[in-house]
Structures are given as structure tokens and as C-alpha cells.
Amino acid sequence: MRLFILSAMLPMFMSFAVISDDIKSAHAFTFTSIEGSPLPLASFEGKTVLVVNTASRCGFTKQYGGLQTVWKRYRDRGLVVLGVPSNDFGNQEPGTAAEIKNFCEVNFDVDFPMADKVHVKGENAHPFYRWAARKLGPNAKPRWNFHKYLIAPDGKLVAWFSTTTSPTSTEVTRTIEKYLVRAPKG
């Protein structure tokens, strides 16, 4: 029983390990899903991933609707939108995982994958966020909720978009389309 519990928790502990400078792929990182199970970014290998730190009580919360729109538009072509709740900016995500999930489903019909709440800034930031800041430089660090990172199908971090950039903006959608691996249906 102890071995089972330890092996189930190993991905969670690994995600908080020291970030090595030789990590080349976002696929090396694991979040915990909002339902509580491991959510390795490696499970999205071969897909383009838009990682967005989110908050339910923010002036930008309506971007959930835009994220859902982008997810619906491009998921059949290989896009994954990953919402990552964080309470780091203005304490605008105080809820539990269940409350956050319910809020997103009821208010925005969100059905894209969501992670459990994490820190996205500072020394307690999730390792993915520390790695992304190291890879793309200090200007690419989240400065508020709804900061966006784009990961190519091979796991390379290829772009970032500020909070004020709508997920449905031409800038974001053109960049997503550049990295999609499947042709549109129809």
C-alpha cells in the first residue's frame, strides 16, 4: 500500500524538483489535474498546447470564453488549451478545485483540460513556470492572470502572450495555426 501511494505521488514530487538548465521540452513537466490526477505535459506530445494561468475573480475572467472558443475551433487540428488556476495576482482565485471547475463549467461551458491551482510566480512557482521564464527571459514571466504560453508539438516553448492579448486575437490564432499539425477537416 505504501509503495502504491509513493509511486502515485512521484510525478507530483518530480514536478517540484530543481529545474535543470538542460531541460529542452515542456513535456518534462507534470501538473495535477483539477480532478486530482497526474497531468503530464508529455501526454500532449504531438499537439500544440496553449497554457494559460487563470483566475475566476479577475477583470480578464471573460477570457475563459475566448479560450473555450479557441479550444473548440482548433482541438480537432491538434490544439490543447490547458487552464492553470493561480491565486498569485490579487488573490483572485481563492476557490477550491471543485469550486473553480464548477465556476468554469457553469459560466463558460469550459471543457478543456484544467490543472489544479498552482503558483506561477516567485520561488514557489510551479517548475514549468520557472522553466518558461528561464527559456523566454524575464519579459515573458506572467505579470497577471491570463498570461499565455504556446508549446509546439515537439515540446518547445515557442511564444508567449500577455494578459491583455485576447486568446481569439489574430496574433494568438495565427501563431497557433503556425504550429498545428493537422489540416482542417472539410
Q: Quick one: how far is CA 94 from the chain centroid?
A: 18
Closest to 175 (Cα-Cα) out of 42, 70, 97, 23: 70
Sequence-ordered alpha helix ranges (H) in 50-162: 63-74, 97-108, 127-136
Give how far Cα 178 sits from Cα of 32, 43, 96, 151, 152, Å: 28, 21, 36, 11, 9
Residue 80's DSSP bridge partners are: 49
Catalytic residue among 41, 58, 159, 176: 58
Separation of alpha carbons 123 and 130, rounded Å: 8
Active site residue 58: yes
- Residues belonging to the active site: 58
